[in-house]
Structure formats: C-alpha cells, structure tokens
Amino acid sequence: MKFIRHGAVGAEKPGLVDAAGRHRDLSAHIDDLSGAALSKASLAKLAAIDPESLPLVAEGTRLGAPVAGTRNFIAVGMNYADHAAETGGTVPPEPLLFSKAPNCIVGPNDDILIPPGATKLDWEVELAIVIGETAWQVEEAGAFDHIAGFVLCNDVSERAFQMEGTGQWLKGKSAPTFGPLGPWLVTPDEITDVQKLAMELDLNGAPRQRGNTATMVFGVRTLVSYVSRFIKLDPGDVITTGTPPGVGMGRKPPEFLKAGDMLRLTVEGLGEQHQKVALY
C-alpha cells in the first residue's frame, strides 16, 4: 500500500493512494500515521479496507510527510563509496550515524528555506526507512519485521554549518525544512527489491544525481540491526540511508542552492518530490 498524510501544516490527516492514483482519506479509521497505527497488525487492517469506500481527498490538497510522531531521525553518512570519494571521504568500516532534528521534517513539495547565515546549501536524494515495530537489539534476519515501509527523503545539508568551524554534522542537517519526506509511505510488499531502486535528482531541470540503492555499502537490513544496537527505535522513527554521487559539494567547481532554484527527486517506486528553494 501507499499511504499519505494530507492537509495544511499541523493539521494533516492520514490517507492512502488507490489503484487509480487518487488520494483517499483514512481519518475515520486511524487518527494518524504514527505509533501503533504503523504496526503490522494495523497496516493489515488498513489493507483490508476497500479504497472505493473511502472519501476522496480534494485534488491539489497539500501533502505532508507520510509519517507522524517521529522521535528519532537517524541518518547514515558515506554509505555510497562513489559519493564518499567525490566529497574527499572514505567509506567507514561500520555505518557512520548522525541525527537530524525531527522537527526539520516537512512535506515532499514544501519549500526548502535557506536559514540565516547559510552559504553552502546542498541536496541529497535518499531512501529512508520508517520503523513500524519497536526495534532494540534486532538481528539482520529479522530487520524487516520492524519496518512499516519506505519513503523518499531529501537530506538537505548546509555544508558550511556541517563541516566548517566546529564541524558538527547535526548543525548542518537540522534547520527547519531540511527533511522533506514522501510523498508516500510504501509498504515493503510493494517493493520487489529495496536494494535495486533507481534514484534521481534534478536541479532546475538538469540532472545532478543518478544512482541506485544497489551500490549502498550497508544495506537496509544491516542498518536497522546496527542502529538498534545503540538506540531503541520506536514506531514512526526514520532512518535515512545515504546518498549516491552528484551532490553540489562534489561538483567542480562546487555548486550550492540559491533562492528560486527548483528540485525534483525520485526513488523508484516511492514517488517524486518537487521543491522550491526560498529565503527563510
């Protein structure tokens, strides 16, 4: 299934995408796509609902991030060898983890806002994992039992905040609007092989990133298991899994976002994002 959240900022309602691509409202069945609503049992009940019985969402209604209640927004750095090389880094021997502030999460087509003092705003198309069942000390073989689904993520990054001065990644990854998610939360049964998904990002209509999850250093099962060794993951938590080559920092000369720029991102099977860059 493909789940959405629709409505104004702060007033989003749960929904789904029917076979014809129309948006349907689920708010009579669940309060939101968060917590227990993301469990396997809950998702199975939702899958049994006839989409034709659900009210249509008005065309043009804003989409929010397709998951709510995120408390841990974990990201993985240098998880594509070719991306590590373009930024002058090396692939770490185990996953390199950092956090993004959960309140940086926005909808898939919301504006990306340039925070005051930013000078090196960058893009990163990524596959993200949404946790559906509490994960603590999970073995790789059972990792998928804890996954509600997958989403497209733009891991927006301010490289000066991230790498200059005291050089803390959290600072460069967490400003408001730095975490667009969606448009859909796609359940695992909809994805034939999560480790073979094409990824694209265009800037103002020109290609920038082209990659595939097949070249991830640490795959989805490994990441869920590894993160759960150190952090108890709750339903609604998000792990964004790294980006392929083509980021602005890696271009020669480097290229960074400015007000008025337009981004298009897609991960195969997870839909598209379209964002305008604007001043905060």
**pLDDT confidence of residue 88:** 80
Radius of gyration (Cα) for the chain, nearest Å? 18
CB 233 within 8 A of CB 72: yes
**pLDDT confidence of residue 82:** 83
Distance, in Å, from the CA atom of 59 to the CA atom of 54, rounded to the nearest integer, reads: 15
**Residues contacting residue 146 through CB under 8 Å, at least 6 positions apart:** 131, 132, 133, 134, 135, 138, 224, 228, 233
**pLDDT confidence of residue 175:** 98
pTM above 0.75, yes or no: yes
Res. 17: pLDDT tops 90:
yes
Q: In the structure, what pLDDT confidence band is assigned to residue 91 with cuts at 50, 70 and 90? A: confident
Distance, in Å, from the CA atom of 13 to the CA atom of 33, rounded to the nearest integer, reads: 8
Q: In the structure, what pLDDT confidence band is assigned to residue 70 with cuts at 50, 70 and 90? A: very high
CB 231 within 8 A of CB 134: no
Mean pLDDT rounded to a whole number for the chain: 97
Res. 185: pLDDT tops 90:
yes
**pLDDT confidence of residue 211:** 96
**pLDDT confidence of residue 102:** 98
**pLDDT confidence of residue 237:** 98
Res. 9: pLDDT tops 90:
yes
User: 105, exposed or middle or buried, with CB in 10 Å at 0-12, 13-18, 19+?
Assistant: buried
Q: Which domains does the chain have, with CATH numbers?
A: 63-279 (3.90.850.10)
Q: 188-241, pLDDT tens digit by residue?
A: 999 999 999 999 999 999 999 999 999 999 999 999 999 999 999 999 999 999
CB 202 within 8 A of CB 39: no
**pLDDT confidence of residue 93:** 95
What integer is the mean pLDDT of 232-254? 97
Among 76-85, 174-183, 214-223, 258-267, which is the least confidently predicted range?
Answer: 76-85
Q: In the structure, what pLDDT confidence band is assigned to residue 136 with cuts at 50, 70 and 90? A: very high
